[in-house]
Structure 1
Amino acid sequence: MTVQLIRVDDRLIHGQVVVGWTRSLGVDHIVVADDKVGADPLQSSLMRMAAPTGVGVTIMPVEAAAAALTGGEFDRAKVLVIVRGPIELSRLRSAGLPFDTVNVGNVHTGPGRTKLTKEVYASPEELVVWQELAQAGVSLIAQWLPDQSRTDLGALVLRG
């Protein structure tokens, strides 16, 4: 398995952002690990249409994605893995997908959510998960597009 990037982005497959990362990294397959979209044929279809031409897309529940990624299903692909938020990211890791660096793109604002960076907000529960991942040694890098500046999200969440 060649996972080029694991990205947290609550929009999952999203035009310009996904195109930027797939081109920059030479990705030829996107794995969306998301229980809701994986169970919704219409949403899955829309996600596939948003992918860049020539890039394969697999959408599946979080634990199934971890099993497929570690079980050899994507061994010949250069993969971009996308999850909706830190809870799904933690579940992916608990299900056996090893990773030490994560790209954090966009996690929307909303009631009761704390601003961590310009594009990343967290509920109290999500903040705890971000902290646990950072304490476990996962490098959390907030970066919108490959050519833009990077922010050490792990350091931000550990400072509280």
Structure 2
Amino acid sequence: MIITLARIDDRLIHGQVTTVWSKKAAADRIIVVDEDVYKDNIRKTLLKQACPPGMKVNVVNVTKAAAVYKNPKYQDDKVFYLFTKPIEVLRLVEAGVPLERLNIGGMQYSEGKTQITKSVSLDQQDVDAFTKLDQAGVTLDLQVVESDPHINIMDKISEKFKG
């Protein structure tokens, strides 16, 4: 499997993803890796309907994503991974899927989270997952829209989560 782009965006498939990121990815399919969405038939259906023309979309959990990655049948498929949370990215990497780079888009604010940019808010679980991904050698590229500058999210984390 050829991973053309891996992105965290808690809105999943929406305008920016369909018009910009999917073109940048130049993939055959979008694979949404999210346990909650995987269990929600309504959200799965809506995501499939929102998929850009000419692309397939699959909604899977981490276990299924790792199994599909390792299946030789899909070795030539170009995929664009979409996640809502860094913990699921970490679990996929720990399951043996090699990610070199992770693009981080929107992660909305909710209670218990700290806003680190206007579009990204994190809790301690997010920080811990990003730290482990960074230690695993994954480049963590905070770039909400394509025209934004590339920022290593670990720099923003160290500014907001000192000590």
Give the TM-score normalised by structure 1: 0.91
Tell me if structure 2 keeps the 8 A contact 1:134–1:158.
no
* Corresponding residue of 2:59: 59
The answer for unaligned runs of 5 or more in structure 2 is none
**Number of aligned residue pairs:** 160
3-state SS of paired residue (1:58): strand
Cα distance in 2 for residues equivalent to 1:80 and 1:89: 13
Cα distance in 1 for residues equivalent to 2:73 and 2:102: 21
Letter in 2 for 1:104: I
| Segment of structure 1 superposing worse, 78-87 or 144-153 | 144-153
Cα distance in 2 for residues equivalent to 1:32 and 1:63: 12
For residues 106-125 of structure 1, the aligned pairs below 5 Å read 106-125=106-125
* Corresponding residue of 1:11: 11
Deviation at 1:158, TM superposition (A): 4.3
* Corresponding residue of 1:44: 44
* Corresponding residue of 2:141: 141
Deviation at 1:118, TM superposition (A): 2.2
Cα distance in 1 for residues equivalent to 2:53 and 2:124: 38
In the alignment, structure 1 residue 69 sits paired with structure 2 residue 69: yes
Letter in 2 for 1:22: S
The answer for unaligned runs of 5 or more in structure 1 is none
Give the TM-score normalised by structure 2: 0.89
Structure 1 pair 73–58 and aligned structure 2 pair: CA distance change class (3 A): farther
Structure 1 pair 40–75 and aligned structure 2 pair: CA distance change class (3 A): same
Q: How big is the alpha-carbon RMSD for the aligned residues of Structure 1 and Structure 2?
A: 1.6
For residues 10-29 of structure 1, the aligned pairs below 5 Å read 10-29=10-29
Cα distance in 1 for residues equivalent to 2:101 and 2:40: 29
Task: Percent identity, please.
Answer: 32
